[in-house]
Structure formats: structure tokens, C-alpha cells
Amino acid sequence: MQKLLQSVNYLNGVGPKLQRTLSELGIITIYDLLYYFPRRYEDLVVKDPQDANDQEKLVLRGIIAAPALLKRLGGKRTLVIVRLLIDNETIPVTFFNQPWLKKQLETGRELAIYGRWDATKRSLIGIKIIQASSSTERLDAIYPTGKHLSQKILVKLIKQAITQYLPFVHDLLPSSLRQEYHLLSDADIIVGIHFPRTKQQAQAARRSAKFRELFLYSLRLCALKVSQGQDKHGVAQAINNDYVKQFLRQFDFELTGAQRRTLKEILQDLQVPRPMNRLLQGDVGSGKTVVAAAAMFASVTAGFQTVLMVPTEILAQQHYQKLAPLFAKFQMTTALLTSSLTAKQKQERLAAIKTGQFNIVIGTQALFQKDVEYKRLGLVVIDEQHRFGVRQRQMLRQKGGEPDLLLMTATPIPRTLAITYYGEMDLSVIDELPAGRQIVNTYWLRSSKFEQVRHFMAKQLQQQAQIFVVAALVNDSDKIELASVQTIYQKLQQQFPQQKVGLLHGQLAADKKDQIMQDFQKHKIDILVATTVIEVGVDVPNASVMVVMNAERFGLSQLHQLRGRVGRGLKQSYCILVSDPPNQVALQRLKIMTQTNDGFKLAQKDLELRGSGDFFGKEQSGMPQFEIADPVADVKMLDIAYQKARYLIRDDPQLAQHPDLQEYLQMKTINNLD
Ligand SMILES: Nc1ncnc2c1ncn2[C@@H]1O[C@H](COP(=O)(O)OP(=O)(O)OP(=O)(O)O)[C@@H](O)[C@H]1O
């Protein structure tokens, strides 16, 4: 292994400049280069012109029939034209801007030329010359290279690395595993992926490489989990269960079985010195916040400070207003910390947080800025932050002496995919909704039928319902988004003159947003026109109708989140998707929404329809980047690889039997886990 960790500049021809270019692609060592895999192959199969389709890329083999002609077109533009004799036909071949080829095109020479076939002219636009060989099949690997590196140079380097270093390549996967799943050795993977002789060879190498990647990734997560388990640097919190029960008595409902079970798991974690690292997953409205609040309460009773971080100011406000009075009954003080505080307010609050005057701090990302210092931080709760990657989670934990960490998410991630995102965490799932919850009846209508929607809204309003209308276009331009909500807002004001219509969007000042939300909570507003600022967490149990305009612009999990804003109280609730789907996939998604309320089923469908990249949306960072495997398409493989990695680590946590793997894990430090 050591030999492979040498820098690429051990190879001939790699000077400082090329070394820099390679490092931009993440290629620093020989190991990186050997495992830098192509994105696709050019299929260089020799074809008979009779079988070729128009505009198809193919290889023709023949004999040069006459001297090549070089034409200069001005500037650097040139043409090289040559005639290739194939059987009894001569095919004209034109190369653009490769004047040096003329020399290679000697009359009488047998050559294979890769290019694009023009069926009407029966001619070829040449792309490159391939030396004629007896084999009729060849695949050329095409790598992602960026602007500053040519395929040719990269291929040459890989070839050199293989010649010099292949003997030093060890198999990282245990041989029993390779036998069980018919996986190739590492050396065969490398050769087969970079220079396959046949498609079958390339496919076999890819399959093995995918498994290898998923297994090694899983192994890193499992090893991290074990090392966290042995970590005794956390704080053991002495929980007072009776107090926790008293706290819960304040709610006018009983916890569901699932809430009780997950709370118990969390409280157990708080009491051991190992820092907790737990994900609390539950569908929209399943009651995660209550569980988290009880855990925070418990941590404070044990003498610690605790923080709750949420993604938006609106949500921070909402939690603050709901939770602070509940904590206050037990003489616990709560601070709200968001970026909209004035400098003076912020300074005062920070000072009070530092001295421990506040037991509980609720806020947005501002909670983890450098200037915030805590006093005896015991528990950090983060809501809806599936946007964080493994490394960011580790960094958060390091703030304030290894506090316990509880992540909450309503994103219903299918279990196998959850492994890739949260594989190093323990999982608690609230898989039960509070009793009396009704299914949100979901309908889809075309925009031409909006009149029907208006009638329906009018009827619901007569019955004292409150309505959300989400009118944001998901667009990179905030201006368009704003114009769209404003137009709808004005229209609804005209259509419902008797009702109070409110407007909420991200560009309003924080206190204005807060005022509008409070008015909606208190039913001073009947219809709230909003952008997706209300997407996560907003809890107004009296709201029972959600209208989503341009619903085709949202992902399924986002629509499900939006729908989750209603159906939180006892009223029968409705979700109306107004949309003119532009294609089959969009249509499918709308239909699925009308068919199920189950977030997990939706997520699975969404993955099938769109793949993992889109599932979490554009702004998601911290997702593991795989070189060759796709956790969605290869989900079965991921499942097996993860289980195998788990068993391996369970039976041999120090990897004493697998020194190569041990070395590999040391090389892949936590810093590049994402
Ligand atoms: N066991 C329960 N019985 C009845 N109502 C409950 C129960 N638990 C929570 N609730 C109520 O259900 C609503 C949703 O709860 P909460 O906000 O905790 O859910 P959540 O899982 O955080 O939702 P979201 O992911 O949508 O933000 C709240 O109004 C809450 O008071």
C-alpha cells in the first residue's frame, strides 16, 4: 500500500504543473490515479458501412486509396481529406483541424478510423485514427478530465502507473467475500476498467469496482460508529425521569407508543458517557418536536445547557413561542438566537448564554457561529438538517465538549439509502401517527380548473377553515418567485374580499414574518399566500387546506412536506395540487401524491422516478459522492456490502486480521468521508 501512496510525480512526465492539474481532479497519489475511473467508453467496433446508421459513431477499416489532401481554410482551420477503400467502395473521410494526420495517411496503409457516419453522402467525419489490429472490438475509456488535461495524457499516465505499480496493488476486500460474490481482484478491476478488451470485461470490472466502493464506504461508517461507541469523552447526564413525566403532563395528549419508545432510547443515550449520535426520523406531523423537547428538558434537569437548531427563522420563532412557556413552568429560561437580532441584542444574549443564564437556546445556524460560547452544553438537537454531511455533524459535536447530538428529520429516506447518509448514526423511528389523525385528501387539478378550487376554498372558509396557498415558482431568480406570490396574493384578495389574506415570503423582514405567522396562528388571517418558507415544521393545527400552485415544480418529498402543514388537527384536511404537468414523470408524481399519504412509500417512488440526486433537491450538500456506484441504482448491492462491512467490524473491530483494510482506513481519515 505504502508504495501506492507515493505522489504522482514519481511517474515520468509529471512536473509541478501537471501535478497541480491532477490534484484538481483529486488525483494526488498513484493510488488515486489507478482508481480514477472512466465515465464511459467509446465503443470502437469495426463496422461495415452497409450496416451503419446515419450520424452513428463507428469505426471503419480499410486501405488508404490515394494520397491525403490538406486544405487550409484560414486561421487555424484545416481539412484533411482522404479516401478509404473498403471492399470495393471508396469512402471519403474528412478530418477537421488535425493537419498532422496527413503524414500518417500513407497510400496503401491499412487503417481503422473512428468517426461519425453520414449515410446520405456515404462519407465519414473522422475523429481519430486507430491502428488497425486483428481484433474487431475495442473500447476506449473516456475520463472526466476538466479543461486542462487531455484524455491522451491521462491515459498514458494510467498506463505507466499500471506497468510500474500493478504488482503493489493489494486486494482490500477479504478473499472470502470476493469468492462469495464473484468479484474480481483489485488488479483485475484496474486493468479491466481502464483497458477492457471486451464489453463483458468492462462490465465485470465495473460491477466489482462498485461493490468494492460501497463496501469500503460502509466499512468506514461502521468503523466510525465503533470508535464513537468506545468514546468515553461525552457526558453522563443524570436524568430525573419523574420530572420528565411532569413536563409531559403539560401536553393535552398522551405520547404515542412510538414517541415513548424513541424518547426512552434517547434518554438512555443521555445517561451514558458515550456521546449520543442519533437520528430521530418520523413522518411529517408524527410528533418529533415533542420528543425532542422532552429530551432537552431532561438534559437541563441534569444540569446542562441545551440547544435546538432549526433551518428557518419562522420555525425558530414558532418553537420558541411554543416551548419557552412550557420550560418556564419549571423555572428554565429559554433564549432565541437568530441572525435578525440587532448587534446589541445579540451581544447581550451571547453574554447570557456564555454565563449559563439561559438553559435552553433555540435558533438558526447562527447558533454555531464562532462567537457563540456555551456553558456546559449537554444536548444539541438539530431539526430538518439532512443537509449536513458526516463531517459537518462531527464538527458540530466538537463545539462545546462532545455534547450529545440528536438529529431530527421528516425526510422519509428509504432504509437502505439512509445507510449512506446516516450510516454512522443510531436510528430511532417514530413509525406511528398520533391517534385521530386523518388522511389528507389530495386532489390534482389543471390550472384551467382553478375556478373549482376557488369554490372549494370558499366553502371551506365558510366552515372556519384556514388555508395555505403556496405559490412559489421554484426558480433561481428570487424576483420571479416574488412576482408569482404577489400576483396570486392580489388575485385572491380580489376574489375573497370578505376574508383576510396574508402574504409571507423570504424577503420580508424577520419581525414582519413573525407577525404574519402569529396572525395566522391566532386566526387573524384566513388565507396565507406563501413561498416555501413554510415548507418545514410550520405547525398551525387549525389550518386544513393546502393549495399548491405549479405543483409540478416541486419534488415529491417537498410536496409531502407541504401537505404535512395540514392535517395536524382534528379537522378533515385537503391538499390541492394545481398543475399542468409537462411530462409523464411529472404526471406520475402528481398521481402518486393523490394515492398515498405515506411518506416512505412516496420516497421510494420518488427515487424510482428521479434517482438519488434529485431526491434531496439541489441545495443539499454533504451527500457522499461515489466514484462509480450509485446508491439508488445499486441499492441491493449497497445493502449486501453494508451488512458484510458491519459483520466484519463486529467480529474484528480493530481489523487485526485485515492489515490492508486497517491501513486503508487510516489513509481515509474522517476529513474526507463526505
Ligand atoms: N401523541 C400526540 N397526540 C396528539 N397530538 C400530538 C401528539 N404528539 C404531537 N402532537 C401534536 O401534533 C402536531 C405535530 O407534532 P410535532 O410538531 O411534534 O410534529 P413533527 O414530527 O415535529 O412534525 P413536522 O415534521 O411536520 O415538523 C403538533 O401540533 C403536536 O402538538
What domains lie within the chain, and their CATH numbers? 1-40+141-166 (1.10.150), 45-137 (2.40.50.140), 441-596 (3.40.50.300)
663-673, pLDDT tens digit by residue? 888 876 543 44
- Which atom of ligand 1 is nearest to 282's Cα? 21
Beta strand residue intervals within 87-155, DSSP E: 89-96, 110-118, 123-131, 139-142
Cα–Cα dist 193/9, whole Å: 23
Q: Which protein residue has the closest C-alpha to ligand 1 atom 1? A: 255
Overall pTM surpassing 0.80 (yes/no): no
Q: So what's the pLDDT on residue 456?
A: 95
Q: Which protein residue has the closest C-alpha to ligand 1 atom 11? A: 287
Q: Which protein residue has the closest C-alpha to ligand 1 atom 9? A: 287
Mean pLDDT of the chain: 85
Compute the average pLDDT of residues 146-169: 92
Q: Would you say residue 477 has pLDDT above 60?
A: no
Q: Would you say residue 392 has pLDDT above 80?
A: no
8 A C-beta contact, residue 409 and residue 385: yes
Q: Count of CB atoms within 10 A of residue 46's CB?
A: 20
487-545, pLDDT tens digit by residue? 889 999 999 999 999 998 878 887 888 889 889 989 999 999 988 777 666 788 889 99
Residue 287 C-alpha to ligand 1 middle, in angstroms? 3
Identity (one letter) of the amino acid at 554?
F
Q: Is 356 left (phi over 0), alpha (psi -120 to 50) or beta?
A: left
pLDDT greater at residue 227 or residue 262: 262
Q: So what's the pLDDT on residue 460?
A: 94
Cα–Cα dist 155/169, whole Å: 19
Q: State the cell numbers at 480.
A: 420571479
Pocket test for ligand 1, best of 247, 249, 253, 321 (most atoms within 8 A of CB): 253
Q: So what's the pLDDT on residue 389?
A: 57
Cα–Cα dist 265/59, whole Å: 63
Q: Would you say residue 178 has pLDDT above 90?
A: yes
Provide the terminal-to-terminal Cα distance of the chain, rounded to the nearest Å. Answer: 22
Provide the CB-side half-sphere exposure for 78 (13 A, CA).
14
Q: Which range (100-109, 187-196, 378-387, 594-603) has the least confidence?
A: 378-387
Ligand 1 within 6 A of CB of 237: no
8 A C-beta contact, residue 471 and residue 529: yes
Q: Which protein residue has the closest C-alpha to ligand 1 atom 2? A: 434
Cα–Cα dist 534/315, whole Å: 8
**Integer CA distances (angstroms), 374 to 307, 354, 399, 408, in order:** 9, 5, 9, 22
Q: Which protein residue has the closest C-alpha to ligand 1 atom 30? A: 287
Using CA atoms in the order 270, 387, 415, 637, what is the torsion angle rounded to 10 degrees?
Answer: -120
Ligand 1 within 6 A of CB of 379: no
Ligand 1 within 6 A of CB of 539: yes
Ligand 1 within 6 A of CB of 284: yes
Return the SS3 of 436: coil
Q: Which range (23-32, 54-63, 300-309, 596-605) has the least confidence?
A: 596-605
The closest alpha carbon to 101, from 135, 85, 125, 75, belongs to: 125
Pocket test for ligand 1, best of 263, 288, 433, 542 (most atoms within 8 A of CB): 288
Ligand 1 within 6 A of CB of 531: no
SS3 content of the chain, % helix, strand, coil (to 5): 45, 20, 35
Residue 539 C-alpha to ligand 1 middle, in angstroms? 8
Pocket test for ligand 1, best of 255, 281, 289 (most atoms within 8 A of CB): 289
Q: State the cell numbers at 130.
A: 486507430
Q: Model confidence at 341, in pLDDT bands (50, 70, 90)? A: confident
The b/e string for 500-516 (b: 16+ C-beta within 10 A; e otherwise) is ebbbbbbeeeeeebbeb
Q: So what's the pLDDT on residue 618?
A: 39
Q: So what's the pLDDT on residue 291?
A: 97
What are φ and ψ of residue 64, in 5° steps?
-70, 125
pLDDT greater at residue 295 or residue 234: 295
Q: So what's the pLDDT on residue 394?
A: 62
Ligand 1 within 6 A of CB of 550: no
Q: So what's the pLDDT on residue 673?
A: 42
Residue 474 C-alpha to ligand 1 middle, in angstroms? 28
Residue 286 C-alpha to ligand 1 middle, in angstroms? 5
Residues 473, 478, 484, 486: is their CA dihedral positive or negative? positive
Q: Would you say residue 472 has pLDDT above 80?
A: no
Ligand 1 within 6 A of CB of 411: no
Residue 526 C-alpha to ligand 1 middle, in angstroms? 22
Report the complex ipTM: 0.98
Ligand 1 within 6 A of CB of 567: no
Q: Would you say residue 180 has pLDDT above 90?
A: yes
Q: So what's the pLDDT on residue 283?
A: 84
Q: Model confidence at 225, in pLDDT bands (50, 70, 90)? A: confident
Which residues make Cβ contacts (< 8 Å) with residue 354, sequence separation at least 6? 373, 374, 375
Q: Would you say residue 475 has pLDDT above 50?
A: no
Q: Which protein residue has the closest C-alpha to ligand 1 atom 3? A: 434
Q: Would you say residue 2 has pLDDT above 90?
A: no
- Which atom of ligand 1 is nearest to 538's Cα? 27
Cα–Cα dist 380/394, whole Å: 12
